[in-house]
Amino acid sequence: MERNRGFEIYPHHQRFLDQWTEIADIPMDAHPEPSARQGIVCERFCCGPPEVCEPAAPMKAWKLDDFYHSEYGKVFFAPNVWPAAPDAFKASGALDASDASCRDLQPSLLAAFGALEALAEALLLLLAEAVDMEPEPLRKLLVDDGRIRHSSMLQVCNYPSLLPRQLRPTESEYQLRAKAHQDFGAFTILSRCPGTDSGKLKCGRSGALEVRLPSGDWMCVPAKLEELTVMPGTLMEYLSAGRCPGVTHRVTNPPSEKASASRRLSLTYVVKPDYTAPAVPPGSKLASDPSTPALGDLWRVGWQEKQRLTGAMPHGEAVQYFHRHRQELRKRLLLQG
């Protein structure tokens, strides 16, 4: 199950990898990228709010609240996990001591988290102004009286290069780097390495980020140095009663002639407001209705875990029912005003 912590590969990509492993016999010199040789399409490393999720963070009284430590709260505030120290890798023979990447990963991501956390608060106030909403109630969904309320997630995404057709197992077909979806958050901040998406490649084969327009057509969003991309997500659509729709997007695969040198890196910060807040505009009539679902109920993992913990539904049944659940919430909270 995805917990948005440490190293992860999406479940549908993992199933592809399992099939790849069964049929692949890729020589070590086939490609310089280990992940490319393994058939990995997308891999990521994730962490949550350091002030709550770092085991070494200073203790504060408010952190003892069940909001963070109940069985359900821990779904949103799971501890951060990090690779073993380089010395441990050296002892196992897996990593040369001169390789500082593991040592630098934790401080680098935590520093980036702090900077993006501050930027996210400013952007949320800007979005509030854009959709004519009171900014203070929205801000309190991130931080309230000095207490962390958001469970935002920072991830480094690696999209490895793809092997040329002649080196791949004949039965294999690559999946999309990221299929069409909306991010589960108020909005997402992206810092991306320019890659094959020069703006000249066709949609559907740019190898990079593409967004779906209201018309249903897709459009490339080229990455540029020293620029950030901001995309509203599912939760902002609910918090604004549909005035700020979530952006459906995907990451496509590059054309075959560019595949072998198409590796991309993306730093992604997904802003996730207070999971207990009603999934409607703060202060609205529905916000005071106890039957209104919370923002956490819109997250697949959050809702499935709630069903398990309350005994409302077995896990397998909850997995099957989730998409219907989301459609029902959308109809109730958005399509009916």
* CATH assignment of the domain containing 150: 2.60.120.330
Mean pLDDT by 10 residues, the chain (337 residues): 80 73 70 84 94 92 92 94 68 51 87 96 94 94 95 94 69 74 94 69 77 92 89 95 93 83 92 96 92 92 90 87 88 72
Q: How many domains does one find in the chain?
A: 1
Structural tokens at position 295: 């923002």
Per-residue confidence (pLDDT) for residue 141, from 0 to 100? 97
242 burial (CB, 10 Å; 0-12 / 13-18 / 19+) is: middle
Q: Which residue has the tokens 């039957």?
A: 291
pLDDT at position 98, please? Answer: 41
pLDDT on residue 165:
67
Residue-wise pLDDT tens digits, 196-214: 555 566 777 777 899 999 9
Distance CA 160, CA 334 (A): 38
Query: Is residue 288 included in any domain, yes or no?
Result: no
Q: pTM of the entire structure?
A: 0.89
DSSP state of 278: B
3-state DSSP helix/strand/coil % of the chain, to nearest 5: 40, 15, 45
**274-331 residue pLDDT tens:** 999 999 999 999 999 999 999 999 998 888 899 999 999 888 898 888 889 888 888 8
Question: Is position 248 within any domain?
Answer: yes
Dist CA 91 CA 102 (whole Å): 14
CA distance 26 to 108: 33
Quick check: is 208 in a domain?
yes
Cα–Cα dist 141/272, whole Å: 9
Distance, in Å, from the CA atom of 228 to the CA atom of 190, rounded to the nearest integer, reads 6
Return the beta strands (E) in the chain as ranges: 6-8, 43-47, 143-144, 147-148, 153-159, 178-181, 187-192, 209-212, 218-220, 229-232, 249-251, 264-271
Burial-class residue 334 by CB neighbours within 10 Å (0-12, 13-18, 19+): middle
In degrees to the nearest 10, what's the CA dihedral of 312, 315, 320, 325? Answer: 40
**Sign of the four-CA dihedral 14, 16, 22, 25:** negative
Alpha-carbon distance of 13 to 175, in angstroms, equals 7
User: Is 331 domain-assigned?
Assistant: no
- 74 within some domain: yes
Residue 250 included in any domain? yes
Q: Is residue 324 part of a domain?
A: no
Place of tokens 């399509």: 335
Q: What is the CA radius of gyration of the chain?
A: 21
Q: Does 82 fall in a domain?
A: yes
| Domain of residue 129, residue span | 6-275
- Provide the pLDDT for residue 1: 47
